[in-house]
Amino acid sequence: MPRPDLQTNRPLTIALSKGRILDDTLPLLESAGLMPNEDLNKTRKLMVDGAGGVRFLLIRAADVATYVEHGAADMGIVGRDLLLEHRPHVMQPLDLGIGCCRLCVAGPSELVAQGEPKAGSRIRVATKYDYLTERYYLSRGVHADIIHLYGSMELAPLVGMADRIVDLVETGSTLKANNLIEETTLFEISSRLAVNPASMATRKTLIQPVIDALSEAVNKGASKA
């Protein structure tokens, strides 16, 4: 449980991560009147102040939900893949409609052409989504030996280390370049606004206007698409 002083005696704090998601997030923040005082893509600071007394934390994407769950940030922008994998105790009031991709099972074309693994079989799967991967294969009666990797999943089947991979896919071009094809989609993924429940209870007058402003920004973006 986050300390009460973390919830009440500091600026409203939003956790973000750098990269493509940040580029997609900045127009939403600007539309909601939440722009930072510095260029988040260039600064070396980990905490940056913004308009309206808001503070931004710049951290690894995988850590955003943890900062929100423990109350170090009131809210944050997190991919649905990470929320599904780590299952943090946070609220998810808004789908921001950015960072859209899918979490897929993929493998070498010749193996996928043989069909999905049958119940009772055993395969090796390279992924950073251990929980989701194990749950998926258990539901199908397949024993998956999980090989945890942090990146370059496509290499694992090429060197014979894994039979399948479970990873995010956007266009599929990297899979195609490495003679891999999609076998099935596990989840459609986008970025969500995650909110600390204690913050929502104690700072709702600060948080709800942010949720409303971001929701309006998302709707405006959708209407232009």
Domain boundaries, the chain: 4-99+190-224, 101-188
- In tens, the pLDDT along 54-101 reads 999 999 999 999 999 999 999 999 999 999 999 999 999 999 999 999
Distant-in-sequence, close-in-space partners of 120: CB < 8 Å, separation ≥ 6: 141, 142
Mean pLDDT of 181-190: 97
CATH 3.40.30.10 fits 4-99+190-224, yes or no: no
User: What is the percent of the chain where pLDDT is above 90?
Assistant: 86
- In tens, the pLDDT along 115-152 reads 999 999 999 999 999 999 999 999 999 999 999 999 89
Mean pLDDT of 215-225: 75
- In tens, the pLDDT along 22-42 reads 999 999 999 888 989 999 989
Q: Is the pTM of this model over 0.85?
A: yes
Is 55 buried (19+), middle (13-18) or exposed (0-12) by CB count in 10 A?
Answer: middle
Residue 81 and residue 189 in contact, taking contact as beta carbons nearer than 8 Å: yes
CATH class of 101-188: alpha beta
